[in-house]
Protein backbone atom coordinates (compact mmCIF):
# COMPACT_ATOMS: atom_id res chain seq x y z
CA UNK A 1 0.00 0.00 0.00
CA UNK A 2 2.91 2.37 0.59
CA UNK A 3 3.57 3.32 -3.03
CA UNK A 4 -0.15 3.75 -3.72
CA UNK A 5 -0.81 5.96 -0.71
CA UNK A 6 2.22 8.15 -1.42
CA UNK A 7 1.35 8.55 -5.12
CA UNK A 8 -2.24 9.34 -4.22
CA UNK A 9 -1.20 11.89 -1.60
CA UNK A 10 1.16 13.66 -4.03
CA UNK A 11 -1.71 13.88 -6.50
CA UNK A 12 -4.20 15.21 -3.93
CA UNK A 13 -2.00 18.03 -2.63
CA UNK A 14 -1.97 19.47 -6.15
CA UNK A 15 -5.59 20.52 -5.69
CA UNK A 16 -6.08 23.91 -4.07
CA UNK A 17 -8.83 23.32 -1.50
CA UNK A 18 -8.31 26.08 1.05
CA UNK A 19 -11.53 26.92 2.83
CA UNK A 20 -12.65 30.53 3.27
CA UNK A 21 -14.19 31.78 6.50
CA UNK A 22 -15.60 34.84 4.73
CA UNK A 23 -17.64 32.76 2.29
CA UNK A 24 -21.25 31.84 3.06
CA UNK A 25 -21.49 29.03 0.50
CA UNK A 26 -20.95 25.34 1.15
CA UNK A 27 -18.37 24.33 0.29
CA UNK A 28 -16.83 27.71 0.95
CA UNK A 29 -14.53 27.47 -2.08
CA UNK A 30 -15.01 26.09 -5.58
CA UNK A 31 -11.76 24.12 -5.39
CA UNK A 32 -13.25 21.79 -2.78
CA UNK A 33 -16.15 20.94 -5.07
CA UNK A 34 -13.78 20.21 -7.95
CA UNK A 35 -11.68 18.01 -5.68
CA UNK A 36 -14.74 16.25 -4.28
CA UNK A 37 -15.97 15.33 -7.74
CA UNK A 38 -12.54 13.94 -8.59
CA UNK A 39 -12.55 11.87 -5.39
CA UNK A 40 -16.00 10.50 -6.25
CA UNK A 41 -14.79 9.48 -9.69
CA UNK A 42 -11.80 7.76 -8.11
CA UNK A 43 -14.01 5.89 -5.63
CA UNK A 44 -16.17 4.64 -8.51
CA UNK A 45 -13.07 3.61 -10.43
CA UNK A 46 -11.70 1.47 -7.60
CA UNK A 47 -15.05 -0.27 -7.20
CA UNK A 48 -16.83 1.46 -4.30
CA UNK A 49 -20.63 1.49 -4.31
CA UNK A 50 -23.27 4.14 -3.50
CA UNK A 51 -20.83 6.90 -4.42
CA UNK A 52 -22.39 10.34 -4.21
CA UNK A 53 -21.47 14.00 -4.03
CA UNK A 54 -24.32 16.05 -2.58
CA UNK A 55 -25.08 19.70 -3.31
CA UNK A 56 -22.98 20.80 -0.32
CA UNK A 57 -19.90 18.95 -1.56
CA UNK A 58 -19.99 15.98 0.84
CA UNK A 59 -18.65 12.77 -0.68
CA UNK A 60 -19.90 9.42 0.62
CA UNK A 61 -19.42 5.83 -0.52
CA UNK A 62 -19.76 2.19 0.57
CA UNK A 63 -17.37 -0.71 0.71
CA UNK A 64 -19.89 -3.59 0.60
CA UNK A 65 -19.58 -6.51 3.00
CA UNK A 66 -17.95 -9.55 1.47
CA UNK A 67 -19.07 -12.06 4.07
CA UNK A 68 -22.19 -13.14 5.97
CA UNK A 69 -20.76 -11.83 9.23
CA UNK A 70 -23.24 -9.70 11.16
CA UNK A 71 -20.77 -6.91 11.86
CA UNK A 72 -21.49 -3.31 12.86
CA UNK A 73 -21.11 -0.73 10.11
CA UNK A 74 -17.92 1.25 10.70
CA UNK A 75 -17.15 4.55 9.00
CA UNK A 76 -14.00 6.49 8.15
CA UNK A 77 -14.08 10.25 7.71
CA UNK A 78 -11.58 12.82 6.42
CA UNK A 79 -11.88 16.43 5.30
CA UNK A 80 -11.09 17.85 1.88
CA UNK A 81 -10.18 21.43 2.76
CA UNK A 82 -6.86 22.82 3.90
CA UNK A 83 -6.33 25.64 6.34
CA UNK A 84 -6.74 29.31 5.33
CA UNK A 85 -3.75 30.09 7.57
CA UNK A 86 -1.20 29.41 4.82
CA UNK A 87 -1.40 29.28 1.04
CA UNK A 88 -2.52 26.00 -0.49
CA UNK A 89 -2.07 27.15 -4.07
CA UNK A 90 0.62 25.55 -6.25
CA UNK A 91 1.81 23.16 -3.57
CA UNK A 92 5.11 21.69 -4.69
CA UNK A 93 5.94 18.74 -2.43
CA UNK A 94 9.44 17.33 -2.29
CA UNK A 95 10.13 13.70 -1.45
CA UNK A 96 13.32 13.09 0.55
CA UNK A 97 14.05 9.39 0.15
CA UNK A 98 16.39 9.00 3.10
CA UNK A 99 16.33 11.85 5.60
CA UNK A 100 19.85 12.38 6.97
CA UNK A 101 18.95 14.02 10.27
CA UNK A 102 20.14 17.52 9.34
CA UNK A 103 18.27 20.78 8.85
CA UNK A 104 16.32 20.80 5.58
CA UNK A 105 16.63 23.80 3.26
CA UNK A 106 13.10 24.16 1.96
CA UNK A 107 13.63 27.30 -0.09
CA UNK A 108 17.04 28.55 -1.07
CA UNK A 109 15.83 31.88 -2.47
CA UNK A 110 13.95 32.82 0.72
CA UNK A 111 16.30 30.94 3.08
CA UNK A 112 13.44 28.98 4.64
CA UNK A 113 14.83 26.11 6.71
CA UNK A 114 13.10 23.26 8.50
CA UNK A 115 15.27 23.39 11.61
CA UNK A 116 15.90 20.39 13.82
CA UNK A 117 16.38 22.78 16.74
CA UNK A 118 12.91 24.28 16.32
CA UNK A 119 11.27 21.01 15.24
CA UNK A 120 13.26 18.24 16.97
CA UNK A 121 10.51 15.65 16.41
CA UNK A 122 11.73 15.21 12.84
CA UNK A 123 14.86 13.46 14.14
CA UNK A 124 12.69 10.44 14.94
CA UNK A 125 12.42 9.86 11.20
CA UNK A 126 16.12 9.82 10.36
CA UNK A 127 16.70 7.28 7.61
CA UNK A 128 13.05 7.35 6.51
CA UNK A 129 11.37 8.78 3.46
CA UNK A 130 9.59 12.08 4.23
CA UNK A 131 7.65 14.60 2.20
CA UNK A 132 8.22 18.34 2.76
CA UNK A 133 7.07 21.62 1.21
CA UNK A 134 9.04 24.08 -0.90
CA UNK A 135 8.74 26.63 1.92
CA UNK A 136 6.08 28.81 0.27
CA UNK A 137 2.89 26.85 1.03
CA UNK A 138 1.51 24.36 3.46
CA UNK A 139 1.74 20.71 2.45
CA UNK A 140 -1.86 19.67 2.99
CA UNK A 141 -1.32 16.51 5.03
CA UNK A 142 -4.14 17.94 7.13
CA UNK A 143 -6.15 16.23 5.85
CA UNK A 144 -5.18 14.95 2.41
CA UNK A 145 -3.10 12.29 4.13
CA UNK A 146 -6.29 11.00 5.74
CA UNK A 147 -8.09 11.06 2.40
CA UNK A 148 -5.27 9.19 0.64
CA UNK A 149 -5.09 6.62 3.43
CA UNK A 150 -8.81 5.89 3.37
CA UNK A 151 -9.04 5.61 -0.43
CA UNK A 152 -5.89 3.49 -0.65
CA UNK A 153 -7.17 1.12 2.03
CA UNK A 154 -10.54 0.76 0.30
CA UNK A 155 -8.71 -0.02 -2.95
CA UNK A 156 -6.58 -2.61 -1.15
CA UNK A 157 -9.57 -4.36 0.41
CA UNK A 158 -11.43 -4.43 -2.90
CA UNK A 159 -8.37 -6.04 -4.51
CA UNK A 160 -8.09 -8.60 -1.69
CA UNK A 161 -11.50 -10.24 -1.20
CA UNK A 162 -9.86 -12.95 0.91
CA UNK A 163 -9.83 -10.35 3.73
CA UNK A 164 -13.37 -10.73 5.05
CA UNK A 165 -15.18 -7.71 6.42
CA UNK A 166 -18.56 -6.18 7.01
CA UNK A 167 -20.00 -3.05 5.42
CA UNK A 168 -17.80 0.04 5.60
CA UNK A 169 -18.82 3.62 4.91
CA UNK A 170 -16.52 6.50 4.00
CA UNK A 171 -17.21 10.24 4.02
CA UNK A 172 -15.19 13.24 2.91
CA UNK A 173 -16.30 16.60 4.27
CA UNK A 174 -15.71 20.22 3.22
CA UNK A 175 -14.81 23.20 5.40
CA UNK A 176 -13.59 21.39 8.51
CA UNK A 177 -10.81 23.94 8.97
CA UNK A 178 -13.35 26.74 9.41
CA UNK A 179 -15.55 24.75 11.78
CA UNK A 180 -18.29 23.82 9.33
CA UNK A 181 -17.34 20.26 8.43
CA UNK A 182 -20.36 18.69 10.13
CA UNK A 183 -22.88 21.43 9.28
CA UNK A 184 -24.60 19.40 6.56
CA UNK A 185 -23.45 15.90 7.44
CA UNK A 186 -26.53 13.67 7.36
CA UNK A 187 -25.74 11.08 10.02
CA UNK A 188 -28.80 8.82 9.40
CA UNK A 189 -27.95 8.74 5.69
CA UNK A 190 -24.34 7.84 6.44
CA UNK A 191 -25.63 4.78 8.23
CA UNK A 192 -22.59 3.87 10.33
CA UNK A 193 -22.79 2.65 13.93
CA UNK A 194 -19.60 4.54 14.73
CA UNK A 195 -16.71 6.05 12.81
CA UNK A 196 -13.13 7.28 13.00
CA UNK A 197 -11.77 10.52 11.61
CA UNK A 198 -8.35 10.05 10.01
CA UNK A 199 -7.28 13.55 10.97
CA UNK A 200 -4.66 13.18 13.68
CA UNK A 201 -0.99 14.01 13.70
CA UNK A 202 2.05 11.84 14.27
CA UNK A 203 2.25 8.05 14.16
CA UNK A 204 0.19 6.40 16.90
CA UNK A 205 -1.99 9.32 17.90
CA UNK A 206 -5.43 8.31 19.16
CA UNK A 207 -7.76 10.99 20.41
CA UNK A 208 -11.17 10.94 22.00
CA UNK A 209 -11.02 14.24 23.91
CA UNK A 210 -11.02 17.73 22.47
CA UNK A 211 -11.58 21.27 23.64
CA UNK A 212 -14.91 22.75 24.51
CA UNK A 213 -14.88 25.80 22.28
CA UNK A 214 -16.53 29.20 22.08
CA UNK A 215 -15.95 32.51 20.35
CA UNK A 216 -16.38 35.95 21.91
CA UNK A 217 -16.93 39.16 19.95
CA UNK A 218 -16.38 42.40 21.88
CA UNK A 219 -17.07 45.98 20.89
CA UNK A 220 -15.62 48.93 22.83
CA UNK A 221 -17.27 52.32 22.33
CA UNK A 222 -15.19 55.48 22.53
CA UNK A 223 -15.77 59.17 22.16
CA UNK A 224 -13.58 60.93 19.62
CA UNK A 225 -12.75 64.55 20.28
CA UNK A 226 -9.95 66.68 18.85
CA UNK A 227 -6.92 65.81 20.98
CA UNK A 228 -6.19 69.47 21.57
CA UNK A 229 -9.43 69.87 23.53
CA UNK A 230 -10.00 66.31 24.69
CA UNK A 231 -9.54 66.69 28.46
CA UNK A 232 -12.45 65.02 30.31
CA UNK A 233 -14.23 64.50 26.99
CA UNK A 234 -12.37 61.88 24.94
CA UNK A 235 -12.73 58.18 25.62
CA UNK A 236 -10.26 56.12 23.59
CA UNK A 237 -11.77 52.73 22.75
CA UNK A 238 -8.32 51.39 21.80
CA UNK A 239 -7.10 51.99 25.35
CA UNK A 240 -10.26 50.46 26.82
CA UNK A 241 -9.64 47.32 24.75
CA UNK A 242 -5.98 47.18 25.81
CA UNK A 243 -6.91 47.52 29.47
CA UNK A 244 -9.43 44.72 29.07
CA UNK A 245 -6.80 42.42 27.57
CA UNK A 246 -4.31 43.33 30.29
CA UNK A 247 -6.76 42.14 32.96
CA UNK A 248 -6.85 38.60 31.56
CA UNK A 249 -4.57 35.93 33.09
CA UNK A 250 -1.16 36.40 31.46
CA UNK A 251 -0.29 32.71 31.27
CA UNK A 252 -3.62 31.46 29.95
CA UNK A 253 -2.84 31.92 26.27
CA UNK A 254 -1.92 29.32 23.61
CA UNK A 255 1.79 30.09 23.69
CA UNK A 256 1.98 29.28 27.43
CA UNK A 257 -0.33 26.26 27.68
CA UNK A 258 -0.21 22.58 26.75
CA UNK A 259 -1.90 19.22 27.32
CA UNK A 260 -5.16 19.77 29.23
CA UNK A 261 -4.65 23.48 29.95
CA UNK A 262 -7.26 25.87 28.57
CA UNK A 263 -6.78 29.41 27.28
CA UNK A 264 -8.12 32.69 25.94
CA UNK A 265 -6.81 33.49 22.48
CA UNK A 266 -7.07 36.97 20.96
CA UNK A 267 -7.43 36.42 17.22
CA UNK A 268 -8.52 39.87 16.04
CA UNK A 269 -7.90 43.45 17.19
CA UNK A 270 -9.25 46.19 14.96
CA UNK A 271 -10.21 49.71 15.84
CA UNK A 272 -9.75 53.41 16.16
CA UNK A 273 -10.53 55.95 18.86
CA UNK A 274 -14.31 55.77 18.62
CA UNK A 275 -14.75 52.01 18.15
CA UNK A 276 -12.60 48.91 18.66
CA UNK A 277 -13.53 45.30 18.05
CA UNK A 278 -11.88 42.22 19.51
CA UNK A 279 -12.36 38.55 18.67
CA UNK A 280 -11.40 35.86 21.15
CA UNK A 281 -11.62 32.12 21.05
CA UNK A 282 -12.09 30.33 24.37
CA UNK A 283 -10.89 26.77 24.88
CA UNK A 284 -11.01 24.32 27.79
CA UNK A 285 -11.32 20.54 28.18
CA UNK A 286 -13.25 20.73 31.45
CA UNK A 287 -16.89 21.77 31.01
CA UNK A 288 -17.05 23.66 34.32
CA UNK A 289 -13.82 25.59 33.62
CA UNK A 290 -15.12 26.32 30.11
CA UNK A 291 -18.26 27.90 31.54
CA UNK A 292 -16.17 29.88 34.04
CA UNK A 293 -14.01 31.27 31.23
CA UNK A 294 -17.05 32.54 29.35
CA UNK A 295 -18.53 33.95 32.54
CA UNK A 296 -15.29 35.78 33.33
CA UNK A 297 -15.34 37.68 30.03
CA UNK A 298 -19.00 38.61 30.44
CA UNK A 299 -18.40 39.76 34.03
CA UNK A 300 -15.39 41.86 33.00
CA UNK A 301 -17.55 43.67 30.46
CA UNK A 302 -20.28 44.26 33.04
CA UNK A 303 -17.75 45.62 35.54
CA UNK A 304 -16.32 47.96 32.90
CA UNK A 305 -19.77 49.36 32.14
CA UNK A 306 -20.52 49.82 35.84
CA UNK A 307 -17.22 51.68 36.28
CA UNK A 308 -18.08 54.09 33.47
CA UNK A 309 -21.78 54.41 34.40
CA UNK A 310 -22.76 53.65 30.80
CA UNK A 311 -22.37 51.00 28.13
CA UNK A 312 -18.79 51.33 26.92
CA UNK A 313 -18.41 47.66 25.99
CA UNK A 314 -20.59 44.88 24.61
CA UNK A 315 -19.93 41.17 24.31
CA UNK A 316 -21.45 38.31 22.36
CA UNK A 317 -20.38 34.74 23.21
CA UNK A 318 -21.15 31.80 20.95
CA UNK A 319 -20.46 28.13 21.65
CA UNK A 320 -18.76 26.33 18.75
CA UNK A 321 -18.29 22.70 19.76
CA UNK A 322 -17.90 20.48 22.82
CA UNK A 323 -15.59 17.80 24.18
CA UNK A 324 -16.49 14.54 22.43
CA UNK A 325 -15.34 12.51 25.46
CA UNK A 326 -18.81 12.94 26.94
CA UNK A 327 -20.33 11.10 23.97
CA UNK A 328 -17.59 8.50 23.51
CA UNK A 329 -17.21 7.35 27.12
CA UNK A 330 -20.48 5.36 27.03
CA UNK A 331 -19.12 3.46 24.00
CA UNK A 332 -15.47 3.36 25.00
CA UNK A 333 -14.98 -0.02 23.36
CA UNK A 334 -14.49 1.79 20.04
CA UNK A 335 -11.38 3.47 21.50
CA UNK A 336 -10.12 0.14 22.84
CA UNK A 337 -10.74 -1.40 19.42
CA UNK A 338 -8.54 1.24 17.77
CA UNK A 339 -5.81 0.67 20.38
CA UNK A 340 -5.86 -3.07 19.71
CA UNK A 341 -5.70 -2.44 15.96
CA UNK A 342 -2.65 -0.23 16.36
CA UNK A 343 -0.86 -2.72 18.58
CA UNK A 344 -1.55 -5.50 16.06
CA UNK A 345 0.21 -3.32 13.46
CA UNK A 346 3.24 -2.67 15.73
CA UNK A 347 2.13 0.91 16.26
CA UNK A 348 2.30 2.18 19.83
CA UNK A 349 -0.96 3.99 20.69
CA UNK A 350 -0.42 7.52 21.98
CA UNK A 351 -3.62 8.68 23.61
CA UNK A 352 -3.48 12.47 23.63
CA UNK A 353 -6.13 15.19 23.74
CA UNK A 354 -6.95 17.20 20.63
CA UNK A 355 -6.00 20.78 21.41
CA UNK A 356 -8.55 21.92 18.89
CA UNK A 357 -11.57 20.33 17.28
CA UNK A 358 -12.31 17.78 14.61
CA UNK A 359 -15.37 16.84 12.60
CA UNK A 360 -15.53 13.93 15.02
CA UNK A 361 -16.26 16.17 17.98
CA UNK A 362 -19.42 17.52 16.39
CA UNK A 363 -20.40 14.22 14.77
CA UNK A 364 -20.22 12.55 18.18
CA UNK A 365 -22.86 14.97 19.45
CA UNK A 366 -24.92 14.32 16.33
CA UNK A 367 -25.18 10.61 17.14
CA UNK A 368 -22.05 9.25 15.42
CA UNK A 369 -19.34 8.47 18.02
CA UNK A 370 -16.14 9.35 16.25
CA UNK A 371 -12.63 9.17 17.80
CA UNK A 372 -9.68 10.53 15.87
CA UNK A 373 -6.75 8.51 14.49
CA UNK A 374 -3.33 9.64 13.27
CA UNK A 375 -2.74 10.56 9.64
CA UNK A 376 1.01 10.89 10.16
CA UNK A 377 1.71 14.57 9.51
CA UNK A 378 3.56 17.20 11.54
CA UNK A 379 3.52 21.01 11.76
CA UNK A 380 0.10 21.45 10.17
CA UNK A 381 -1.11 24.75 8.69
CA UNK A 382 2.27 26.11 7.68
CA UNK A 383 5.25 25.89 5.39
CA UNK A 384 7.17 23.64 7.81
CA UNK A 385 4.64 20.84 7.44
CA UNK A 386 6.01 17.39 6.62
CA UNK A 387 4.91 13.77 6.66
CA UNK A 388 6.90 10.51 6.90
CA UNK A 389 5.61 8.03 4.33
CA UNK A 390 6.03 5.05 6.68
CA UNK A 391 3.44 6.70 8.94
CA UNK A 392 1.00 6.89 6.05
CA UNK A 393 1.48 3.21 5.29
CA UNK A 394 0.94 2.41 8.98
CA UNK A 395 -2.31 4.38 8.98
CA UNK A 396 -3.55 2.24 6.08
CA UNK A 397 -2.66 -0.95 7.93
CA UNK A 398 -4.46 0.29 11.05
CA UNK A 399 -7.63 0.94 9.03
CA UNK A 400 -7.49 -2.64 7.70
CA UNK A 401 -6.97 -3.95 11.25
CA UNK A 402 -9.93 -1.96 12.61
CA UNK A 403 -12.21 -3.25 9.85
CA UNK A 404 -11.09 -6.82 10.55
CA UNK A 405 -11.60 -6.44 14.28
CA UNK A 406 -15.06 -4.93 13.78
CA UNK A 407 -15.92 -8.09 11.84
CA UNK A 408 -14.66 -10.15 14.79
CA UNK A 409 -11.71 -11.60 12.91
Residues catalogued as catalytic: 81, 176
Contact 360, 209 (CB under 8 A): no
Measured from the Cβ of residue 318, the count of other Cβ atoms closer than 10 Å reads 11
CA distances from 110 to 107, 114, 236 (A): 6, 12, 41
Strand stretches in 322-409, DSSP E: 350-351, 372-374, 386-388
Contact 46, 111 (CB under 8 A): no
Q: Is 179 left (phi over 0), alpha (psi -120 to 50) or beta?
A: left
Contact 320, 213 (CB under 8 A): yes
Packing angle of the helix pair 141-159, 30-46 (nearest 10 deg): 20
Q: Are strands 59-63 and 168-173 parallel, antiparallel or unpaired?
A: antiparallel
Angle 154-20-106 (CA atoms, 0-180°, nearest 5)?
A: 70
Q: Is 346 left (phi over 0), alpha (psi -120 to 50) or beta?
A: left
In the sheet with 194-200, reading across from the earlier edge strand, the strands are: 49-53, 59-63, 168-173, 74-79, 194-200, 372-374, 205-207, 350-351
CA distances from 287 to 262, 315, 326 (A): 11, 21, 10
Amino acid sequence: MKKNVVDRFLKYVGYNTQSDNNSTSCPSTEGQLVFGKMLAEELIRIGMLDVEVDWNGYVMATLPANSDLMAPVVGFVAHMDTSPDCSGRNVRPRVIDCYDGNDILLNDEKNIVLSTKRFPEILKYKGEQIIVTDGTTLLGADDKAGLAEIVTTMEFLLAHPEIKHGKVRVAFTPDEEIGRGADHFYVPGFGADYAYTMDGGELGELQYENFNAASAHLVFHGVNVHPGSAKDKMRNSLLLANQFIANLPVGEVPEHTEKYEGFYHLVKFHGQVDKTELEFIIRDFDKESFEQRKFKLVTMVQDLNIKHHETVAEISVKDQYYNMKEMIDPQFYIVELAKEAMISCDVEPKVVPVRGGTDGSRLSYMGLPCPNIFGGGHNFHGEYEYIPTNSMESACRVIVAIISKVAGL
